[in-house]
Amino acid sequence: MLLLLRLSPSLKAMSTSIRNRLPGKIEKIVSDRVVSEVLINTAAGPVTSIITTGSVQRMNLKEGDNVFAIIKATEVSVEKEHLTNR
């Protein structure tokens, strides 16, 4: 799960139990009527979030905004390609 948090100068403090908070800047937003893809450049690399277009509008997200990518994963899977002997 990836959440976005917009930085606001009016906020004094925020509290969350999620520890994976990556500060970054929105590079690109691609929206349709229902969902939006938000590309965030962070020091750890690019992070993409898929959120509702309603959330983009409600948060007034724009390219160039400073935000936090907040990552909460309940599961991580590993996949390895198997080579077949011929």
Domain count along the chain? 1
Q: What is the per-residue pLDDT for 50?
A: 92
User: Within a domain: residue 80?
Assistant: no
- The pair of structure tokens assigned to 52 is 């509702």
Would 77 be classed as within a structural domain?
no
pLDDT tens figures, 1-59? 555 665 555 555 566 777 788 899 999 999 999 999 999 999 999 999 999 999 999 99
* Residue 81 covered by a domain: no
Give every strand in the sheet of 45-52, ordered side by side. 2-6, 66-71, 20-31, 35-42, 45-52
Determine the structural domain holding residue 48 and report its residue range: 2-11+23-71
**86 is a domain residue:** no
pTM of the shown model: 0.70
Residue 39 near residue 64 (C-beta atoms within 8 A) = no
pLDDT over threshold 90, residue 63:
yes
Half-sphere exposure of 37 (CA within 13 A, CB side): 6
Beta-strand pair 20-31/35-42: antiparallel
